Structure 1
Amino acid sequence: MSELPERTDALVIGGGVIGTSIACHLAEAGVGTVLLERGALGSGSSGTTAGVVRTYFPGNVLVSSVAARSMAAYHAFTERTGTGLGLKRIGFLVLFTEEHQVEDFRRTQAAQRAAGVDVELVTAAEAARLNPLLDERTILAAAWSPEAYSCDPAEIVRGYATAAQQAGAILRTRTPVTGIDPDGQVHTPAGSVRADTIVCAAGPWAGTVAAMADVRLPVTTYPVEMLLADVPAGAPRTTLPMTLHPSSQRIRTWGDRILVGMGRPGPDESREAWLQRVSHQLVATYPALAGNRLERGWCGDLDVSPDGMAFIGRDPSRPFLYAAGFSGQGLCQAPAAGEIVRDLMLGKQPWTDTTGLTTARCSGGSAEAV
């Protein structure tokens, strides 16, 4: 591995979908960029997903607008990076079991559409046609957004990383950050590099990295486990949309099986009790899955903010940018997040007002105008 340069305009810490997107956007804008990743590229939160990009985020129009802009970038990804994502439209179905959920949807639908989201209210019977495993008697209605696609997160990381390197960025894996000095000197086991600006995109380790620079980034680690189930005998061999239940349980087709996500056991809950809870909710909503054994798929950690929305912004007192706390939604927001960080780095007005994305919303302080 070659030595690190003595200095760089921007040093990006974290090599997942967010970090590689940022490195690509910065390098293509002519910013000298170094990216450091403690493991392999995409080995953190980027590999702990259901592999779906979507535009609809219920109850959060700002996130939906970021996701809609990112979706447009994904559709142009192959032309830009030379890497094919193999996007396959599966759609996103959000189930409503309470009347207030239906009313909340109606109240926010116009704002979601204005943000670029294609979403409509469908009946319980229509929802069951979209997901044939669904017992329509268990819901009142659902929101349907066709703009959701299965994809390979590793290909997104690879595409952005390759484009970043072609634009002049230096990417170093197996290079954890061990310290950050007040003058921007960043230390690693492979040497040190002085950065004019540090960009924290370190996922579950973002809070720790920020603390090295004496910056408070209220990001915590949340462990998740994805489960797999067999398609029941006799069930239609159709692709199931990503389907979200109010319990937070989500399912979708995964190859010839069904992917099931519902967090992980609580602090005082055994794994067996958690699996029983997941299975009970699964069978209540999808009776055809009764008796279907749930198997471990994979597990990992997510970077989570207190309100479940990402932090993207700039520290008001030092040259430190951050993009973290995506709470499992980073895949859907990576392209637009890279744009925002690039514009903040260049002192330009981003494409949207990003005040609501800064850490000030959780600290009660005033955000730096961007």
Structure 2
Amino acid sequence: MSRLPERTDALVIGGGVIGTSIACQLAEAGVGTVLLERGELGSGASGTTAGVVRTYFPGNALISNLAVRSLAAYHALAERTGTDLGLARIGLLVLFTEEQQVRDFQDTRAAQQAAGVDVELVTPAEAARLNPLVDERTVLAAAWAPEAYACDPAAIVRGYATAAERAGALLRTGTPVTGIDPDGLVDTPAGSIRADTVVCAAGPWAGEVAALADVRIPVTTYPVEMLLTDTPDTSDSSALPMTIHPSSLRIRSWGDRILVGMGRPAPDETREAWLARVSHHLGTACPALAGNGIDSGWTGDLDVSPDGMAFIGREGSRPFVYAAGFSGQGLCQAPAAGEIVRDLVLGKSSWIDTSGLSTARCLSGAAEAG
């Protein structure tokens, strides 16, 4: 293992979609950048995904704002680098089964549209037309947001990594961080490197990495499992939109099968009971799938914040910046997060008010707003 350079302007810890986006945007802004990844690029939370980038996040227009900007950035990345990100528009359908859910949509629609989200309320019949597996008798209405795309997360990570290296960044895999001094000296098995700014983008390990610098990022690790089931023989061959049920059930086409997600078993629930619960909701929302066998697809860990919104900011006056706790939504926010971190490192005003993204909102003012 070759040794690291003695110093760098910015040291990014984490080689997932967040870290590679940050490294790319820092390097392209002329910032000397080194990225360290403990495993392989994209081997953490970036690989634990349904492979969809979307713009509509019900109940949180700030996340939607980041997602709208990020989707535009993905299209631009594909165009300027010639990288095939696998983007294919499938749309997002959010089902409502209670009147309060419909009212909540109506109350927040203006804020979503102000964030740039294209979303409308549709009837049960229209929801069933958009996703023929949906039983229109079980829903009151649905939100339809056409700007949702199936994608290739690994290709996105590779695209950002390649662009970062072309801009002069050094990316090192298999290089875990073992220590971080307050003055920016970072220790690894390949030697130590001093950074003017340390950027923590370590996903599920963000809390541990930050603790090395005596910084607290209140994220927890949340294991999830993606499941697969068969497509009904009578179903339309066209791709199903990403569909979200109030139970937290999510489905979409996955090749010739259907991808199913619903988190993980509750703490007091066996895996068998959880699978039975998934099957129940699947059969209720999509009767054509009732009784289908469910196979394990893949498992992984997410970095989750207490309120489901990412932490992006600077730790007080110290040279430590963080971007973590994306709660399974990092793929949809990575380009915008990279821009925010770049501006924090450069000391520039961001394109958006980032005060609400700081850890301060969950640490009672213990951290300074970014």
Give CA deviations for 1:32-86 in whole Å, capped at 9, x if unaligned. 1100000000000000000000000000000000000001101111223331212
Query: 1:265-276 residue pairs with structure 2 within 5 A?
Result: 265-276=265-276
Letter in 1 for 2:345: M
Alignment partner of 2:308: what SS?
coil
Alignment correspondent of 1:96: 96
Instruction: Report the Cα distance in structure 2 between the residues aligned to 1:199 and 1:181, rounded to whole angstroms.
Output: 13
Structure 1: distance between partners of 2:346 and 2:187: 25
Cα separation, partners in 2 of 1:301 and 1:366, compared to 1, 3 Å: closer
Q: Deviations over 1:221-242 (max 9, x none)?
A: 0000000000012122121100
Specify the alignment match of 2:329 in structure 1. 329
Q: Is 1:47–2:53 an aligned residue pair?
A: no
Question: Which residue type is aligned with residue 204 of structure 2?
Answer: P
Q: Which amino acid aligns with 2:79?
A: E
Amino acid of the structure 1 residue aligned with 2:57:
F
Q: Which residue of 1 aligns with 2:263?
A: 263
Conservation of the 8 A alpha-carbon contact between 1:314 and 1:321: yes
CA contact under 8 A between 2:356 and 2:369: conserved in structure 1?
no
Q: Structure 1 residues 204 and 366, CA, compared in 2 at 3 Å: closer, same or farther? A: closer
Deviation, 1:369, is 5.4
Q: For 1:266-345, list aligned pairs within 5 A.
A: 266-345=266-345
Pair 1:247-2:247 in alignment: yes
Within-5 A mapping of 1:1-370: 1-365=1-365, 368=368
Runs of 4+, deviation exceeding 6 Å: none
- What amino acid sits opposite 2:312 in the alignment? I
DSSP 3-state at the match of 2:362: helix
State, as a whole percentage, how many aligned pairs show the same letter: 79
Answer yes or no: is the 8 Å Cα contact 2:358–2:369 preserved in 1.
Answer: no
Give the Cα separation in 1 of the matches to 2:222 and 2:309.
Answer: 14
Deviation at 1:366, TM superposition (A): 7.0
**Matched residue of 1:195: which SS?**
strand
Indicate the larger mover: 74-83 or 16-25: 74-83
Compute the TM-score of the two structures, normalised by the length of structure 2. 0.98
- The number of equivalent residue pairs is 370
Q: CA RMSD in A?
A: 1.0
- Which digits, 9 at most, give the CA deviation of each residue in 1:183-230, with x for residues without a partner? 211111111111111000000000000000000100100000000000
List per-residue Cα deviations over 1:94-148 (Å, max 9, x = no partner).
0001101100101111110110100000001100000000001111000000000
SS at match of 1:363: coil
The offset of 1:367, in angstroms, is 6.0
- State the 1:268 CA deviation: 1.6
User: Is contact 2:314–2:369 with CA below 8 Å preserved after alignment?
Assistant: no
Unaligned runs of 5+ in 2: none
Task: Please give the secondary structure, in 2, of the residue aligned with 1:134.
Answer: coil
CA contact (8 A) 1:251 1:258 kept: yes
* Aligned counterparts of 1:240 and 1:79: Cα–Cα separation in 2: 26
